[in-house]
């Protein structure tokens, strides 16, 4: 990679990307993680037109069902810099648009890495219209306890639940300082960790890219830690999955193509740098272990 490309390598606004991706791909689990109200029902459109014709787009919006069978919309906005008057005016647009569009009550939630005492807790638009969103500071969680518990499970070769693996990715946000040192601890754990499925492990490994780009001190550190978590290999594995899907494989078995895919999988399984076992490849692509080992 050239020096010019290295200068542009760090992602812009990585935590925005992480927040969006975690909810996009794991919304029910994120709902459980934060213990939000109601039962998750499904995603809700997060973009609505303002009265002036412009578009307002909240980070995350989804439906929940409360105990009285009343549906409610939850809007979640993540803020890393400020939770102030400007923030409140922005989320009020989202709240108003969703109320008007869907005729449902809206709960506004702000997640943030800021301490709670540095966040504006309410804003009065009028004497009868006071916005009091739920503010969840990551610093209110006991990061050391969470990390210690997950680390113990990983060292004991136990499988992490989806909830635990997501915490492994975001636990760094529960620390107000020494984030780079925490990152150095977390990255090897991400590679060592076992997930409920190979697909979810790949997804979490990809999500780790965002915390690396946020908290690594230098571009050299970014490149090194991406190697530690196995990001390049994960991307390659994803490319293999796409290639198999594009060629019409169903569980790795499409007429006339079986030998070709087995050849690719055999090469991957034989690669000493590949962290996926023959068993995992077998589970993912539907071939027996013997077929993958022999390539036929």
Are 208 and 253 in the same domain?
no
Identify which has the larger pLDDT, 151 or 257. Answer: 151
Kindly state whether residues 190 and 252 are assigned to the same domain.
no
Domain-embedded: residue 167: yes
Q: Same structural domain for residues 38 and 129?
A: yes
Q: Are 113 and 167 within one domain?
A: no
210 and 223 inside one domain? yes
CA atoms within 13 A on the CB side of 269: 23
> What CATH number is given to the structural domain containing 70?
3.40.1350
- Tell me 158's DSSP state: P
Same domain, 136 and 41: yes
Assess whether pLDDT exceeds 90 at residue 150: yes
Comparing 45-49, 93-97, 179-183, 270-274, the range with the smallest average pLDDT is 270-274
- Residue ending a domain, choose from 85, 116, 140: 140
Report how far residue 249's alpha carbon sits from residue 232's, in angstroms, rounded to the nearest whole number: 24
At 47 the pLDDT is: 80
Whether residue 224 is contained in a domain is answered as: yes
Among residues 215, 208, 199, which one has the least CA distance to residue 229? Answer: 208
Backbone angles phi, psi at 277, to 5 degrees: -80, 165
| CA separation for the pair 275, 198 (Å, rounded) | 11
Task: Report the mean per-residue pLDDT for the chain.
Answer: 86
- Is residue 296 predicted with pLDDT exceeding 80? no
Closest Cα to residue 8, out of 227, 154, 213, 198? Answer: 213
Domain count, the chain: 3
Structure tokens of 125?
């638009």
Residue 273 in any domain: the answer is yes
* From 168-172, 250-254, 271-275, the region with the lowest mean pLDDT: 250-254
What average pLDDT does range 178-196 have in this prediction?
Answer: 96
Question: Is the same domain home to 191 and 151?
Answer: yes
| Residue 84: partners with Cβ closer than 8 Å, 6 or more residues away | 120
Whether 121 maps to a domain, the answer reads yes
**Is 20 part of any domain?**
no
Q: 144-156: string of b/e by CB count within 10 Å (b at 16+)?
A: eebbeebbebbee
The more confident residue out of 177 and 49 is 177
- The answer to the question of residue 65 being in a domain is yes
Asked if residue 44 and residue 93 are part of one domain, the reply reads yes
CA distance linking residue 55 with residue 67, whole number of Å: 33
pLDDT above 60 (res 260): no
**Residue 7 above 80 pLDDT?**
no
The answer to the question of residue 22 being in a domain is: no
Residues 145 and 179 in one domain: yes
Window from 68-72, 112-116, 166-170, 275-279 with minimum mean pLDDT: 275-279
Beta bridge partners of 137: 112
- Give the pair of three-digit tokens for residue 182: 């925490």
Is residue 120 domain-shared with residue 216, that is, in the same domain?
Answer: no
Residue 70: burial class (beta carbons within 10 Å; 0-12, 13-18, 19+)? exposed
Query: Is residue 79 predicted with pLDDT exceeding 80?
Result: yes
Q: Cβ of 279: how many Cβ atoms within 10 Å?
A: 12
The whole-number pLDDT of residue 161 equals: 97
Residue that finishes a domain, picked among 105, 140, 175: 140
Domain assignment present for residue 28? The answer is no
Of the residues 140, 164, 197, which one is the last residue of a structural domain? 140
Beta-strand relationship, 129-131 and 123-126:
antiparallel
Residue 171 sits in the same domain as residue 267: no
Q: Provide the residue range defining the domain that includes 173.
A: 3-11+141-229
Alpha-carbon distances of 132 from 95, 110, 123, 225, rounded to whole Å: 12, 10, 7, 40
Q: Within this chain, do residues 126 and 38 fall inside the same structural domain, yes or no?
A: yes
């Amino acid at each position: 990679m050239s020096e010019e490309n290295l200068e542009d390598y760090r992602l812009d606004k990585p935590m925005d990307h992480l927040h969006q991706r975690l909810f996009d791909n794991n919304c029910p689990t994120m709902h459980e993680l934060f213990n939000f109200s109601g039962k998750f029902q499904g995603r809700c459109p997060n973009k609505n037109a303002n009265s002036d014709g412009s578009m307002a787009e909240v980070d995350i919006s989804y439906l929940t069902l409360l105990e009285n069978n009343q549906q409610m919309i939850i809007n979640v906005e993540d803020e890393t810099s400020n939770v102030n008057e400007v923030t409140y005016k922005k989320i009020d647009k989202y709240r108003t648009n969703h109320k008007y569009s869907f005729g449902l009550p809206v709960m506004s939630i702000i997640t943030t890495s800021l301490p709670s005492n540095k966040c504006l807790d309410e804003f009065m638009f009028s004497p009868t219209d006071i916005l009091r969103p739920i503010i969840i500071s990551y610093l209110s969680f006991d990061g050391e306890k969470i990390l210690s518990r997950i680390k113990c499970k990983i060292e004991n070769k136990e499988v992490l639940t989806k909830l635990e693996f997501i915490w492994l990715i975001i636990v760094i946000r529960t620390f107000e300082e020494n984030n780079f040192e925490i990152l150095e601890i977390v990255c090897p754990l991400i590679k060592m960790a076992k997930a409920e499925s190979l697909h979810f492990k790949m997804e979490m490994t990809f999500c780790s890219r965002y915390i690396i780009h946020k908290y690594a001190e230098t571009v050299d550190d970014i490149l090194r830690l991406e190697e530690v978590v196995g990001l390049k290999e994960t991307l390659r594995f994803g490319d293999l999955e796409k290639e198999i899907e594009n060629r019409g494989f169903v569980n790795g078995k499409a007429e006339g193509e079986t030998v070709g895919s087995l050849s690719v999988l055999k090469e991957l399984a034989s690669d000493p740098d590949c962290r996926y076992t023959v068993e995992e490849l077998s589970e993912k692509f539907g071939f027996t272990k013997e077929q993958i080992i022999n390539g036929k």
